[in-house]
Chain A
Amino acid sequence: MATTVHEPPKIDAGRDSTRLPGNGNSRNLVPADGKLPAVRDYSPPPASTGIWVVLASIGMSFLAFTSALVVRKAALDWQHLTLPPILYLNTLVLIASSFALEVARRRIGAFMRRRESQVASPTRWLYMALFLGLLFVAGQYGAWLQLRSQGLYLSTNPNSSFFYVLTAIHALHVLGGLTGLARVVYRLNKSILRKSTLDATAYYWHFMDGLWLYLLVLLWMKL
C-alpha cells in the first residue's frame, strides 16, 4: 500500500487571468453613452484568434486552387493568356484601401491605449477603405469585361477558366471583407466597436491584399 499526497489543488497560473474576463465571452461589452470615447476593448480574444483560423482556412483553399492550376497546366491545351492591364490599377486600389484601413486602425488603437486623448477622424479613413474596396471589385468586373471583349469566356480554355475562377472567388472574399468593414463602421458609429473586431477585420483585409498579390504573380507567371 502506497500513498501519494497530491500537490495542493491550484489554479493553473499558465493563463493570464487578467487578460480574461472570466466568462470569456463576448457579451460583456458595456457601451456607455453612445460616444466614441466610451469605446474600450474589454473583449476576450476569440475574435483575434478566430481571424487566424479563418485566414488559415482561406489560405488552404487557395493552395488547393493553386495546386489544381499547377497540375492542370501540364496538359497540352494550355495556352498563354495576357492579363488585362486594368488588373495592375486594381492592385494599387486595393493596396491603397488597406493603407486607409490601417491608418484608421492605428488611430483608434492609439486612442484606446490612451496615447491620445482624441481620435482623429477614423470614420473618414474607414469610408475611404470601403470605397476603395468597392472600386477594386468594380475594377475586377472591368477586367472580366475586357477578357470577354477578346472572346475569352469561362469555358474558352483552361487559362481563362482559371482566371475567372480565381479572380471571382477572390472577389467574393473581398465582398465578404467589405461587409465586415461596413459592420465596423456601423458599430463605430453606435460606439459598440470592439478593438478585436476592428483588428480582425483589418487582418482579413490585409490578407485579401496579400492574397491578391499572390494571385496576380501566380496568374502572371502561369497563365
Chain B
Amino acid sequence: MHDASAHNQVAHHAPPTSFIRKHVFSLDHKVIGKQYYGLALVAVLVGMALSWLMRIHLGWTNFAIPGLHLLSKNGAPGNVMTPEFYLQLMTMHATIMVFFVLTTAPFAAFGNYFLPIQVGAEDMPFPHFNMMSFWVTFVAFLVLVSSFFVGQGPTLGGWTQYAPLSALGEVTGPGQGSGVVLWAISIAMFCVGQLLGSLNFITTTLDMRTRGMSLWRLPLSSWSWFITSCMGLTAFAVLMPACILLILDHVAGTSFFAPGGSVINDQVQPHSGGSTLLWQHLFWFFGHPEVYIAIVPGMGIVSHVLVTNMRKPMLSHRVLVYSFGALAVLSYMVYGHHMFVSGMNPVSSLAFSFPTLIITIPSTVIVLIWLGSLYGAKLRINAASLFSLGFISMFIAGGVSGFFLAQPSTDIMLHATYFVVGHFHMVMGVAAMFGIFAGTYFWFPKMFGRMMNETLGRIHFWFSFVGAYAIFMPFHYLGMAGNVRRYQAFTPDYMQPLVPLHQFITIAALVTGVAQLVFLYNLFHSRFWGKPASDNPWQATSLEWSTPTTPPPHNNFGDKLPEVYHDPYQYGVESSLGDYVMQASPEQVKTVHDEA
C-alpha cells in the first residue's frame, strides 16, 4: 500500500463547519494556538493591571486607588490596599505571569500554531488531546482567578507557596485556606494541560515531519519548542504530585508538608512531622526548568526572526541547538540555588553552585553566536527585529546578574531582595515578553493575513525597551542596598531612603504599561483593518511561508504536503527569488559572500 504515488496525498478531512467546532472546541492546531494566544493576552492584561496596583502602593503606600474596594471585600477599605491584599495581588501577579503568560504565549500559543506547519504536517497527531490541553489550561485560569471571589480571597503565599505557610490553612493568613486550595487545583490542572501539550509537541517533531525534513532541517523555533516540551514533560510531572500532596494537607488533614508543633495564635496545630524542605525541593525541581520553559522558546523565536532579518544564516545552527539542549539538561541540576539560605546542607549549596555557574557557558555560547551572526549581516530594522535585538540586550543584562545569585556567598546578601526580582524580571520576564512581541510582529501576517502597523510597532518598541531598563535596572540597586522583596511598605529604617527610587520605578512602570496599550490597539486594528499580507512578506524560507494561502488552509498545505530540499535558513544565496531559497523549493542555489 505504500507506493510512492500515495506518498504526498493528504487524506481529506473536511474542515469543520459548525461555529462551535470551528472556533470553540476546535481540533485545528492553528485555532488552538490562537486560543492560547488569546488566553495569554487576557492573562497578561490582568497580570499587568495587578502589577500597576502593587507599584502604586509601593511608591505611595497610603494612596487611595479609586474603585479598588470593588476587587476585594476586605482588601482595600477606603481604597487603600491592606498588607494582606498587597501580598495576594503579588501572588496572583506572579502565578498568572509565570504560568499563564510566559508558558502559554511563547510555547503553547506559537508552538501550537507553527510547529506543525514548520515540520510540514497537516496537524498534530493527537488533536483531541490538543483541544483538551487548551481547555484544561483555560479552566485552570478561571479557577485561579475565581479565588479572588471565594472566601477571604486568593492566597498570599507567593508563587512559590513555601510550606508551611501554604499548608496550615486559614490560620496563617487570609486566603491561605480556600485560596491555596484553588491555587493548587489550578496549577495541577495547568500541569495536565501542559503535559498533554508536550505529548503533542514531541510526537509532532519526531513523527510528523514531512519528506525531507530531517531533524537538522528544523528551524530553530521548532527546535526550541521541541526541547521545551521535553523539559515540560518532566517538570510539570513533578509539580503535579506536589500540588496533589499540598491539596491533601488542606482537605484531608495529612501532614506531608505541615510540620508538627507549630503554634499559631497560641494554638498548637494538629499536624506532625511534615517536611517543609520537601516542598521546596519538589517545587524548585519544577521551578528552575520552568524558567527555561519560559525563555527557551523565546530564544528560538528570536533566532528565527533574527536570521530572517539578518539575511544570513546563523554562525552555527547546530551549536545553537546543542546549547538549547545543554540549557535544558543543566536546568535540572541547578535548582538548589534557590535554596542556599534555606537550611539545606551547606555542602549541597556548593554542589548546586557549580552547575549553576556552568550554565553560563551555553548561555554565553548562544549570545556569542547571535552576536557573531550579526557580523557581516544585512540587517533589516523592523518591529520584529528590534524586539529580537532588544531580547538579546535584555538577556545579557538579566544574565550577568545571575553570576551573583549562583554563588552562595554573595547570595547571602542578595537572596530575597529586589536584586533577585530584577534578575528574573529581566531574564525571564522582559526577555521572554520581547520574544513574544517579536513572534507576534513576525508571524501576525501569516496568522491573520494582514500586516501590523510598523510605526505603532516601533513606538511600542521604544517605550518597552527604555521602559524595561528604567523599571528593572533600579531593582538591582535596591537589592544591593538590602531592600527585601515581598514587603508592602518599608518600615525598616534603612529601607526608607529607597522609597524615592521606588517612586521612580512606579512612574516608569505606569508609562511602560500604557505603551503596551499601543500594542493592543495595533493588534486589534491590524486584525481587521491592516494592510493585506502576501504569502511571504519577510522573504523567509521556512515552511510556514510556503502555505498555499495566508492564513493557511485548514489542513495547512492544501492537497499536497511540501517536500523539503534545503536547510532551514538559506539566506545570502543567489536564486530566482533573490537572496534566499525556500526550504520547499527544489531550486539549486549558490552562495556569494565577501571574503572576510
Contacts and interface: CB of A to CB of B under 8 A. Distances in A.
Interface string A151-171: 000110010010001000100
A23 B590 contact: no
A115 interface: no
B211 A2 contact: no
Nearest to B240: A61
A20 B125 CA distance: 13
A6 B274 contact: no
Contacts of B256: 68, 72, 158, 161
Interface in B541-577: 561, 563-566, 570, 573
Nearest to A161: B254
Contact of A25 (B1, B2, B122): B122
Contacts of B248: 154, 161, 165
B252 A64 contact: no
Contacts of A15: 209, 211-214
B192 to A, nearest CB: 10
B202 interface: yes
B10 interface: yes
A84 B198 CA distance: 38
Interface in B112-128: 121-123, 125-126
B2 A21 contact: yes
B199 A50 contact: yes
Given A11-B212, A25-B123, A72-B256, A46 B590 contact: no
Interface string B90-123: 0000000000000000000000000000000111
A10 B565 contact: yes
Q: Is the interface of A mostly helix, strand, loop or mixed?
A: loop
B532 to A, nearest CB: 29
A77 B273 contact: yes
B89 to A, nearest CB: 30
Nearest to A72: B275
Given A50-B199, A57-B237, A11 B563 contact: yes
Nearest to B573: A6
B77 interface: no
Interface in A24-63: 24-28, 40, 42, 44-47, 49-50, 53-54, 56-58, 60-61, 63
Interface stretch (B350-358, B493-501, B503-511, B581-589): B581-589
A45 B207 contact: yes
A149 interface: no
Contacts of B213: 12, 15
A60 B586 contact: no
Contact of B126 (A22, A50, A169): A50
B260 A77 contact: yes
Nearest to B124: A46
Nearest to B200: A50
A49 B300 CA distance: 24
Given A10-B565, A161-B255, A46 B8 contact: no
A1 B207 contact: no
A85 interface: no
Nearest to B235: A60
Interface residues of A, number: 57
Interface string A192-217: 00000000000000000000000000
B482 to A, nearest CB: 33
A158 B590 contact: no
A11 B237 contact: no
B206 interface: yes
Contacts of A21: 2, 6-7
Given A47-B125, A68-B241, A8 B595 contact: no
A58 to B, nearest CB: 7
A40 B260 contact: no
Interface centre among A3, A22, A53, by most chain B C-beta atoms within 10 angstroms, is A22
Contact of B11 (A5, A27, A53, A58): A27
Interface residues of B, number: 75
Contacts of B198: 53, 57
Interface in B366-423: none
Nearest to A57: B237
B595 A77 contact: no
A11 B564 contact: yes
Nearest to A154: B252
A37 to B, nearest CB: 15
A64 B589 CA distance: 52
A37 B204 CA distance: 30
A95 B260 CA distance: 41
A74 B275 contact: yes
Contacts of A17: 7, 211
B518 interface: no
B266 interface: no
A60 B282 CA distance: 12
Nearest to A70: B278
A78 interface: yes
B212 A53 contact: no
Interface string A162-200: 000100010000000000000000000000000000000
11 contacts: A2-B594, A4-B592, A22-B6, A22-B210, A25-B123, A46-B208, A60-B238, A71-B278, A71-B281, A155-B253, A165-B245
8 closest Cβ pairs, A-B complex: A46-B125, A75-B273, A9-B565, A77-B273, A155-B253, A60-B237, A12-B214, A11-B212
Given A46-B204, A60-B238, A72-B273, 12 more contacts: A12-B217, A24-B208, A24-B210, A26-B125, A44-B207, A49-B207, A53-B198, A64-B285, A71-B275, A75-B274, A154-B253, A165-B244
